[in-house]
Amino acid sequence: MALGSANGNRAEGATTPLMSWKNNLRALLVDASSTCRIIGKAYLTSYGVETEAVENGEAAFDLIYMGASFNVIIIDMHMREMNGAQCARRLRTMGVQSRLLGMSTSYREHEQHEFLAAGGNGFIQKPLHPSKFVPILQELDNN
Amino acid sequence: MAGVPQLQKRLVDYTASLFHEGVLDEQFNQLQLLQDDSNPNFVVEVVSLFFEDSERLLNDLTKTLNQQDVDFNKVGANVHQLKGSSSSIGAQRVQRVCIAFRNYGEEQNIEGCLKSLQLVKHEYAIVKNKLETLFKLEQQILAAGGIIPRS
């Protein structure tokens, strides 16, 4: 478990995060489902990660253009207007250096190859669960 | 009028039956962990959002599959969303039916899609009904001055 100072940006009345990190970890969730965005954001926030959630690739690009930066961007692989690979490719073209993870309940192999070829780093399976994202956060925090 | 201990037992037994029948899976229990004093109604709120999302997706799918020229990309995107959201709240049987649905969509098999749509609507109605009953039981316990037992 990573030790260090607790995440500085905590909302008034929020409870203490379940884990604390050396660095100020920031995550962006890109997911068309509002149910998944709420759950994903609640999970990551409860683990001390400052999290934003948007519903599609365009909204993610807008945030980046406005100067936001993230340690990790988790991208729904099967959004309507663009898939995970298309989103990843555009983010890399914009100069985004964040860890890019494709998220889905299940994958076809060609989809995974496409995502990695587009500049993605790896995958995380939906539904989000601490056992899946904590190791990733620990790795990010240690780099 | 049942006392608190009886209501609590009813809730525990009812919840257990939902897991036993495979209507809910472990992910639903995980949601409870996200509920706390700063977020006391998290589970009910997320589940209500799931109901709204699902109804919209199911209506959309019904419309899309009844067009002359079916837009299978739209079908696929909606099924993926439904699969993802149902998995996130632990609605296991809804998620399972989406697997076949997704395959039929990729094969552009209208018959298969229509059959799957019926199955999904059926499973969705079941999980909605059961969760509403579960939340009602919780409300009864709280109204009687009791606390909700958590595993």
pLDDT tens, position by position, B15-50: 999 999 999 999 999 998 899 888 889 999 999 999
Query: B14 by DSSP, 3-state: which?
Result: helix
A7 vs A71, more confident: A71
**What would the pLDDT profile of B127-147 be if each residue is shown by its tens digit?**
999 999 999 999 999 999 999
- Please give the pLDDT value at position B151: 66
Shortest Cα–Cα distance, B92 to chain A (Å): 11
Closest Cβ opposite residue A126 in set B73, B84, B99: B84
Burial class (CB in 10 A: 0-12, 13-18, 19+), B48: middle
Q: Do B85 and A36 touch (CB under 8 A)?
A: yes
The architecture (CATH level 2) of B4-33+42-141 comes to: Up-down Bundle (1.20)
Contact of A13 with chain B, judged by CB distance below 8 Å, is answered with: yes
Decide if B82 contacts B57 (C-beta within 8 A): yes
Position A3 pLDDT exceeds 60: no
For residue A125, the distance in angstroms to the closest alpha carbon of chain B comes to 10
CA atoms within 13 A on the CB side of B25: 14
> Tokens for A12?
């008034």
The chain A residue lying nearest B96, using CA atoms, is A105
Which residue type does B38 have? S
Nearest CA in chain B to A128: B88
Contact with chain A for residue B58, Cβ under 8 A: no
Contact B88 A106 (CB under 8 A): no
Kindly list the residues from chain A whose CB atom is less than 8 angstroms away from the CB atom of residue B89.
Answer: 35, 39
List, in sequence order, every residue forming a beta bridge with A45; answer none if it has no partner: none
Torsion of CA A33, A38, A41, A43, to 10 degrees: -110
Indicate the residue type of A63: L
Q: Which residue has the tokens 């890109």?
A: A30
Could you give the CA distance from residue B77 to residue A55 in angstroms, rounded to a whole number?
13
DSSP element (H, E) containing B119: helix B110-143
Per-residue pLDDT tens digits for A10-24: 444 456 788 889 899
Q: Is A104 on the interface with B (CB under 8 A)?
A: yes
Task: Assess contact for B76 and A78: CB atoms under 8 A.
Answer: yes
Q: Nearest CA to CA, how far is B4 from chain A (Å)?
A: 29
Q: Which of A33, A127, A128 sits opposite B53 (nearest CB)?
A: A33
Q: Does B99 touch chain A (CB under 8 A)?
A: yes
Percent of chain A with pLDDT strictly greater than 70: 90
Domain locations in chain B as residue ranges: 4-33+42-141
